[in-house]
Amino acid sequence: MDLIRESARNGFVIFHEEVARDGAQGKTLLLGPQRIAIAKRQSALFQGNGHRQLVFNAGFPSIGPEEQNVIRELIGSVDSCYLGVSGRATFEEADLLIKSISGARFGRISIALPTSEQMCFTMLRKTPQQCLQHALEITKYILDADTNSVLDFALVDVPRAALDFVADAALQLTDAGASMIIVCDTVGSLYPAESRRMFDALQKGTSGAVSFVAHMHNDLGFGLVNTLEALNAGVRGLTSSWLGLGERAGMPATEQLLFSLGHELEDLASRLDVSSAIWPGTIDLRAIVPLARYVSQTTGRPLLVTDPIVGSGVNSISTGTPFVNPGLYQPFDPEVTLGVSRKVLLTPLASKRVVAAVAKRLGWTLNSSELSEALIWIKAEAYERGVGIIEEDDFIHFCEERRFTNSLIKEPMIHSSQIERV
């Protein structure tokens, strides 16, 4: 039984994670231990439902023996979610995929099948109908082989294909034994309304008989919203990648997708026209930021100040009015929801209240005159250096130079033997 498809058919949302596979096309490389760590930690987010909600796409075996060895490492270490391998629609790659995923507790094979005339000719030198017939032959070949893995098809370049052909292909492949059909906006060209119309048409054209997965690229910045449009159209399979890593301009960011669907479930209906029943259990939102930081460190993709949900600017304060009433300037409480503690930073926008708070945390209780002096120094120093943040070490040095009183610094103890006898 395909537990992922069963979840989708029961109305639960399922996630295809692409950081190791599509993310590699974003010019990153995750080695075996790193992929294992991400897969395990992401599975744990679903608190016992990883095998029902997560497909961790492990990689492309056709890259070479090194990639195959990494995939084998995952198979030997990860049994809490589905592991997927991907390849092209050839019998040679079908053999490689079957071999690569053998032994996985929960295994999936994904075959890329072009659908538009241009892509069919470029990838397989065939017409769309010929490509479909070829895919049906490969379906039989894989399902007749000695494999416990389920088979999905990733339909490539769907926006430029005839949607009636795509719907028919999805039905034929499903009837032949394919489990789920991945709909790919291969070049990230769709706008949100176009995305919704496409998924509505495919749902109508297949009468609910096909389990679809949305795979939307982010070339125009619409990856996340297009994925939510698919969800709103009834699609329960969603594709994303940590930090948005993938191909030319990335994928929907996993951390943003998880948060948007897992935060305040009671409001999903009013916000997205989606029932809160898309979750079979609960999700650990407080594990999102640590995992995103790990992915950042292992891929070398830095977390930016303005990255939603996981950026270094989340729950940071540097100006007066937000400092007085932080909740007024936040859509949610990052400390309660994500476990991200508040940070008060010294910037050119600082006020006396901000400076006083930072000083107090570091042990100084500055009087009004000292606060004014410190504030003047912070602003002047920032502009002289051309920096947006004055580091705390520099502020400490300033306070020490001015001999401000620090309650945390105690006079050194003098041993009795050091007291001069008179």
What φ, ψ does residue 156 adopt, rounded to 5°?
A: -90, 140
Residues 355, 346: Cα–Cα separation, whole Å: 7
Residue pair 128/117 in contact by the 8 Å Cβ criterion: yes
On the question of pLDDT at 194 being above 90, the answer is: yes
Q: How many CB atoms lie within 10 A of CB 362?
A: 13
Residues 150, 169: Cα–Cα separation, whole Å: 18
pLDDT tens-digit map of 11-24: 999 999 999 998 88
Prediction pTM value: 0.92
Residue position matching structure tokens 């951390």: 255
Q: Print the SS3 string covering 100-168.
A: HHCCCCCEEEEEEEECCHHHHHHHHCCCHHHHHHHHHHHHHHHHHCCCCCEEEEEEECHHHCCHHHHHH
Confidence of residue 247 (pLDDT cuts 50, 70, 90): confident
Confidence of residue 416 (pLDDT cuts 50, 70, 90): very low
Q: What is the mean pLDDT of residues 49-78?
A: 98
Confidence of residue 410 (pLDDT cuts 50, 70, 90): low
Mutual orientation of helices 32-45 and 288-299 as an angle, nearest 10°?
170
pLDDT tens-digit map of 292-310: 999 999 999 999 999 999 9
Residues 360, 130: Cα–Cα separation, whole Å: 73
Residue pair 112/88 in contact by the 8 Å Cβ criterion: yes
Residue pair 49/81 in contact by the 8 Å Cβ criterion: no
Q: How many CB atoms lie within 10 A of CB 12?
A: 18
Of 101-115, 302-316, 321-335, 338-352, the least confident: 321-335
Average pLDDT, whole number, for the chain? 94
Confidence of residue 414 (pLDDT cuts 50, 70, 90): very low
Q: What is the mean pLDDT of residues 236-259?
A: 95
pLDDT tens-digit map of 144-187: 998 999 999 999 999 999 999 999 999 999 999 999 999 999 99
Q: Where are the alpha helices (DSSP H) in 207-242?
A: 223-232
Residues 180, 104: Cα–Cα separation, whole Å: 18
Confidence of residue 415 (pLDDT cuts 50, 70, 90): very low
Residue count (the chain): 422
Taking the alpha carbons at both ends of the chain, their separation in whole angstroms is 91
- Determine the longest span between alpha carbons in the chain, in angstroms: 107
On the question of pLDDT at 422 being above 50, the answer is: no
Domain 3-299 in this protein, CATH class:
alpha beta
Report which of 102, 96, 181, 111 is spatially closest to residue 149, judged by C-alpha positions.
Answer: 102
Residue 323: per-residue pLDDT: 85
Q: Could you tell me what percent of the chain has a pLDDT over 90?
A: 89
Domain ranges of the chain: 3-299, 316-401
Q: Could you tell me what percent of the chain has a pLDDT over 70?
A: 96
Q: Where are the alpha helices (DSSP H) in 275-409?
A: 288-299, 320-324, 334-338, 352-361, 368-385, 392-401
Confidence of residue 125 (pLDDT cuts 50, 70, 90): very high
Q: Is 27 left (phi over 0), alpha (psi -120 to 50) or beta?
A: left
Distances (CA, A) of 305 to 294, 313, 388: 16, 4, 11
Residue 259: per-residue pLDDT: 98
Residue 421: per-residue pLDDT: 44
Residue 288: per-residue pLDDT: 98
